[in-house]
Amino acid sequence: MATKTQNPKAWLFVLPVVALVAFNALIPLMTVVNYSVQETFGDNVFFWEGVKWFEQVLHSERFHASLLRQLMFTSIILTIEVPLGVAIALSMPKKGVGVSVCLVLMALPLLIPWNVVGAMWNIFALPDIGLLGRMINGLGIDYNFTQQPGAAWFTTVMMDVWHWTSLVVLLAYAGLRSIPDAYYQAAKIDGATPWAVFRFIQLPKMKRVLTIAILLRFMDSFMIYTEPFVLTGGGPGNTTTFLSIDLVKIALGQFDLGPAAAMSLIYFLIVLLLCWIFYTLMMRHEAQ
Amino acid sequence: MTLELRHVSKRVGAEIHIYETSLEFREDGFNILLGTTLAGKTSLMQLMAGLERPTSGEIWFGGKNVTGVSVQKRNVSMVHQQFINYPNFSVFENIASPLRVARLTRAEIDRRVGEVSEMLRLTPMLGRRPSELSGGQQQRTALARALAKDSDLVFLDEPLANLDYKLREELRDELPRLFRDRGCTVVYATSEPTEALLLGGYTATMHEGRITQFGETATVYRQPADLLSARVFSDPPINTATVTKKNGRFVLSDAVSWPATGDREALKDGRYAVAIRPHHVTPFAQEKNDVRIDGRVLVTELSGSESVVHFDLGGQTWISQSHGIHAFEVGARASFYVDTGQCMYFGEDNALLAA
C-alpha cells in the first residue's frame, strides 16, 4: 500500500472557490442568520433574542396562510404545466420546418423578463381595456382580477402556465427526440396501442428529463415573486400574497428585520427540504 | 412460407431508397442482406415487414399479397441493431409482451417464455430489468421476444453490430441453430462479408438501393455476378485493375502480364476489369502461376496472425492480406505475388465473364 501523502499546497488551489462561495453565499447567509437571532433599533445596536423570531414566525397565522397559498399555487401549476407540457411535446412535429417554428414559438415566453410578463398580463386581463378581461366579461362572466380573489388566482395561474409550460415542453421534447425510431417500430410490430407506447416507452424514456422539469418548476414556482407582484401586488386583500411577497412586505414594508430574517431562513429550509424529498423519491423510484 | 418482392420500389421525396426490385427469398436457411451502411438494407426490411409502404410494386407472403396489410396483422418480428426492450418491464414481461397482446393464456405464455429463455440462457435474469443487463443479455432478450412470438417472418437488422467481439461470435454461432427448426423465413441484414460467410444460407448483395445478386452465400462469394457484387462481398476491399487481352495474354502493364488459361482463352481480345481478393495477393510466391507486381507500401496493419498491406500500384491502392507477420517499411517499394488463377474478369458492363 502506498502511503497517502498530504500536500498543503493543494489548499491554495481550492482557495479561489472558497473565497467566491464565501462572498456570494456564506457571508450574505450569515448576515441573515445574524439578523434572525437579534433585535435591532438602528445605529447598529443589537440585542440577543435567541429563537424568539423563529417561534414568532412559526406560530403566526399570517405565515401559515402564505405558506398554504404558496403550496396551493405550486401544486396547481405543477398539475397543469407538467401534463400540458408533455401533451404539447407529444403533438409537436418530429421533422421538417415545423420543428424550428414550434421550438421558436415555445421558447418565446421564456425569453420575456418576469416583470414584463407581469405587466403584460396585467394590461391583458384588465376588465375595461384588456383583451382577455373584456372578452371574459363579454361572455357574460363577471371578471375583475383586481377585486375578485378567484379571478386573481385564475389570472396568476394562467400567467404562470403561459410563461413556464414551454420549459416543460422543451425538456419533454428533448426527451422524446432521444428515443430511437426502432422503439416505435418494435411497438408497432408487437401491436402495441398508442396508449401503451406512451405508457411503456415514451414516459419511461422521458422520466429523467421530467424529473428535472418538475424540480425546476417546483423551485421556481415556490419562490415566485415578480410576476404576481406586478400583476396583483398580492391582492385583492392578501389572497395572492405568496411567501416571497409576504417576506418582502415584512422586511421592507414593515421593516421588521428580525422576523423577516427568521422567515427567510425557514423559507430557505422548506425549499431545500421539499427539493430533497422530491429528488430522493424520484431517484428511489428510478432505482427500482 | 415464401417471401417475394414483385417490382417493389421506395421513394421518399425526390430520393430513391429502393430501386425496382423483384426477388424471391428462400424458406430454408438465412436470407442475408449484405451491403454497406445506406445500401438500403433497413429500408428494404421495413418494406417487407410492413412498417413502410412501397411506392410501387407488391409484397407477397405465403402466396398472399400483403402489400397493404398492416404490420400488426402480418405476424412478423424484428430485432434491431440497438437493443430495444421496454425499459420498465422485467425480462419476463419483455419477452411476454407480444404474447399478451395476442391474448394467449397465462400457462401458454409461461411455457413459451420458459422455453425461449432456456434456449437463450436468460432464465436467471427473468426478474431483472433491461438496464440491469449487459449488452449481450439485452440483445438476447430482444431475440427471445422475437422467438417467443413464433412469427412466420423474422427480420434481424444487424443484430450483432453493437455487441463486442466476443459476444458477437457467441451469438452468431447460436443464431442459425435457434431459427433452424422454427419453420420461419429469416432475413438477416449485415454489413460484414465475414458474417455472411459464417452464417451461410443465401445472400443478397445490396448497393445503393439495388440488389445486385442473390444466391447461395458461397456461390455469391465465389462467382459474383458483377464487379459491384464482388466489391460488396469482400473485406478487406477487393483489388481491381484494367487489363488488356492480346495474343493469349492479359497485360496489366509493360512489365506485368500473364497467360490466359482454361476458359479464359475464349475471351475476345480487348479491355477487361480484373478483380482479385486481397488474400490472393501475397508478399511471397505461392504457386506456379503467380505473377510478381511491384508497388510502394502505403499502410501496413499487423494483427496477431495476419499482415494487411496497402500499396500503390500505378495510382491505385491495392491490398495484400497474408498469414504471418511480414514487416514492411512505409514508403518503400515491395514485391507482391498475384495468384492469377484466382482472378475474376469482368466485361464492359461489369458483368462477370470468367472466374
| pLDDT score recorded for residue B288 | 67
Residue of chain A minimizing CA distance to B142: A186
- As for the ipTM of the complex, it is 0.76
Domain finish residue from B216, B232, B248:
B232
Looking at the partner chain, which of A186, A190, A205 has a beta carbon nearest the beta carbon of B80?
Answer: A186
Cα A94 from Cα A161, distance rounded (Å): 24
Whether residues B22 and B120 fall in one domain: yes
Number of domains, chain B:
2
Report helix angle A97-111 to A149-177, nearest 10. Answer: 140
Whether residues B33 and B95 fall in one domain: yes
Residue B243: which region, alpha, beta or left (left: phi > 0; alpha: psi -120 to 50)?
A: beta
Structural domain containing residue B209: 3-232
**Among the residues of chain A, which ranges form H helices?**
10-21, 27-36, 52-59, 61-91, 97-111, 114-125, 131-138, 149-177, 181-190, 194-197, 203-222, 226-231, 243-248, 257-287
Whether residues B271 and B288 fall in one domain: yes
A183 and B51 within 8 Å at the Cβ level: the answer is no
| Residue B65: φ, ψ to 5° | -80, 115
Domain finish residue from B214, B232, B250:
B232
Cα A14 from Cα A24, distance rounded (Å): 16
Q: What is the mean pLDDT of the segment spanning A90-107?
A: 90
Q: What is the mean pLDDT of the segment spanning A119-146?
A: 88
Whether residues B263 and B221 fall in one domain: no
Whether residues B87 and B208 fall in one domain: yes
Whether residues B51 and B145 fall in one domain: yes
Whether residues B286 and B324 fall in one domain: yes
Cα A84 from Cα A102, distance rounded (Å): 15
Q: How confident is the model at residue A2 (pLDDT cuts 50, 70, 90)?
A: low
Whether residues B9 and B95 fall in one domain: yes
Q: Is B75 on the interface with A (CB under 8 A)?
A: no
Question: Which CATH number is B198's domain given?
Answer: 3.40.50.300
Could you tell me the CA-to-CA distances from B339 to B204, B223, B247, B322, B329 in Å, in that order?
27, 17, 20, 12, 23
Cell readout for A236 is: 385583492
| pLDDT score recorded for residue A288 | 62
Q: How confident is the model at residue B37 (pLDDT cuts 50, 70, 90)?
A: confident
Whether residues B203 and B321 fall in one domain: no
Q: How confident is the model at residue A121 (pLDDT cuts 50, 70, 90)?
A: very high
Whether residues B95 and B219 fall in one domain: yes
Cα B174 from Cα B89, distance rounded (Å): 25
Q: Cis ω on the peptide bond leading into residue B278 (within 30° of 0)?
A: no
| pLDDT score recorded for residue B193 | 92
Contact call for residues A258 and A40 (beta carbons, < 8 A): yes
Residue B13: which region, alpha, beta or left (left: phi > 0; alpha: psi -120 to 50)?
A: left
A189 and B78 within 8 Å at the Cβ level: the answer is yes
Comparing A65-69, B109-113, B326-330, which segment has the lowest mean pLDDT?
Answer: B326-330
This prediction's pTM: 0.78
**Residue A147: pLDDT over 60:** yes
Whether residues B122 and B90 fall in one domain: yes
**Residue A150: pLDDT over 70:** yes
| pLDDT score recorded for residue B188 | 93
Domain finish residue from B180, B212, B232:
B232
B292 contacts: CB under 8 Å, gap ≥ 6: B256, B285, B335, B336, B337, B338
**Among the residues of chain B, which ranges form H helices?**
41-49, 91-101, 106-119, 135-148, 165-180, 193-199, 217-222, 227-232
Q: Is B71 on the interface with A (CB under 8 A)?
A: yes
The domains found in chain A, sorted by start residue, are: 25-59+256-288 (no CATH), 70-116+147-242 (1.10.3720.10)
B72 and A188 within 8 Å at the Cβ level: the answer is yes
| pLDDT score recorded for residue A60 | 86
Question: Which CATH number is B313's domain given?
Answer: 2.40.50.140
Residue of chain B minimizing CA distance to A191: B72
Q: Which residue has the higher pLDDT, A83 or A9?
A: A83
Give tens-digit pLDDT for B39-90. 999 999 999 998 989 999 999 998 889 988 888 888 899 999 889 999 889 9
Q: Count how many pairs of residues, chain A against chain B, have C-beta atoms within 8 Å.
A: 48
Whether residues B310 and B334 fall in one domain: yes
The residue type at A91: S
Taking the CA of residue A175 and the nearest CA in chain B, the distance in Å comes to 14
Bridge-based pairing state of the strands A38-40 and A46-48: antiparallel
Q: Which residue has the higher pLDDT, A182 or A6?
A: A182
Cα B167 from Cα B174, distance rounded (Å): 11
| pLDDT score recorded for residue A260 | 87
> What residues in B contact A190, CB-CB < 8 Å?
97-98, 101, 145
| pLDDT score recorded for residue B224 | 92
- Burial of A156: CB neighbours in 10 Å, binned 0-12, 13-18, 19+: buried
Find which of A29-33, A118-122, B325-329 is predicted with most confidence, using mean pLDDT: A118-122
**Residue B298: pLDDT over 90:** yes
